[in-house]
Structure 1
């Protein structure tokens, strides 16, 4: 992937004062695989709700995720579930597997301006994850799926709601994500867009449509090292 070879410069990010980060597989690396626990919980929820075998429940869960942005949105649209109950059960996981990352904490702290977590998960999940990483105190706010009215990224209305709530100037903003499709709207809004990828591009847990290629014009930069990337954009050339 050519963009992985292109390193950022301070000059390219000197105008950025709004830093927006996805949570899962972005603020922590893919190999931590925290989402595997959530995935199992969601499969179990679907199986119980619809009296399905685990394999059939997982298949339906993934279809809803692909088609609606989150499993939750698909379940709400097709089965009218209680979203709060789903979120609580989905995020009943062991956060001790998330390693503290003081280097990332220092890199985020050094960024000029405001920093946000913008997630399709819940505030509680974001807080627990960011606390385990040791970076929670460096963020100004968390915008979650509840604040989005349960309409997940990549829906344009959800980005609009986030930008409006926090009065984000998109031409002075950067978005960090692990899913290429979630960078389409930010790019159209004038934001710098950065895709987080697994080390050595080993997408062992990803669906095919979740991965990127050089044809993804909405992506300005690709990195497998978030802390290192942030240090480069802050440091003078």
Structure 2
């Protein structure tokens, strides 16, 4: 089925950030992952291997490692976010093709990330796409309730006045699309070309065959070009 058949009514386009708006082969997430491990190792005075185990356990159980650290250890989130997002963006190049594809989409565009707004803004600026987004909804705006919980999505929808049945969600993790799909959003899973993300656990790839994933693409810019080229503006032809 053509992706166009699902997008006629969409007037809000919601994008995850990491490994979604930039190609997954870049090492940004690997850097973030390593910095989280180091932070937990120093915080708890444990070996990096044990810190990594705790990091991934909290991530799976609580939605983010930060949420687990806040609940289990009373970690102050601002310091954690500043530390883990202090990454080198040198290898991240501007993407004029992606910028043009996003600009051509009818309606508003939003970034919804479990990371920080500062990190998101830095990445969007480096990609040359920051001007095309009306807002960034980060983990602070979510009051530290992370995807994939329904409470997190409801907070996002209320904060930006989004009607889920007129919205599309783009994510690199299938589990983060289950609630959006249930709420009525069109869901698109952005997968890495060749499936190479060194910092990923096997369970993070689960759910791709489930019904809550409407579309899968390895080429976000190409997918958006196809949608924007043929999809009518919301309300076009309606009386």
The bucket for the TM-score relative to the shorter chain is over 0.9
The answer on whether the counterparts of 1:19 and 1:116 sit within 8 Å (CA) in structure 2 is yes
Does residue 200 (structure 1) correspond to residue 194 (structure 2)? The answer is yes
Structure 2 length-normalised TM: 0.93
Does residue 12 (structure 1) correspond to residue 2 (structure 2)? The answer is no
Equivalent residue number for residue 27 of structure 2: 33
Equivalent residue number for residue 171 of structure 2: 177
Structure 1 length-normalised TM: 0.94
Equivalent residue number for residue 63 of structure 2: 69
SS at match of 2:120: helix
Equivalent residue number for residue 219 of structure 2: 225
Deviation, structure 1 residue 215: 3.2
Does residue 91 (structure 1) correspond to residue 105 (structure 2)? The answer is no
Aligned pair in 2 of structure 1 residues 214, 54: CA closer, same or farther (>3 Å)?
closer
Q: 2:230 aligns with which of 209, 226, 236?
A: 236
The answer on whether the counterparts of 1:43 and 1:57 sit within 8 Å (CA) in structure 2 is yes
The equivalences for 1:112-127 within 5 A come to 112-127=106-121
CA RMSD between the two structures: 1.3
Deviation, structure 1 residue 15: 0.9
Equivalent residue number for residue 49 of structure 1: 43
Q: Distance between the aligned counterparts of 2:62 and 2:207, measured in 1?
A: 22
Equivalent residue number for residue 237 of structure 2: none
Runs of 4+ that moved beyond 6 A: none
The answer on whether the counterparts of 2:175 and 2:207 sit within 8 Å (CA) in structure 1 is no
**Which has the higher mean CA deviation after the structures are superposed, 105-114 or 192-201?**
192-201
Deviation, structure 1 residue 99: 1.5
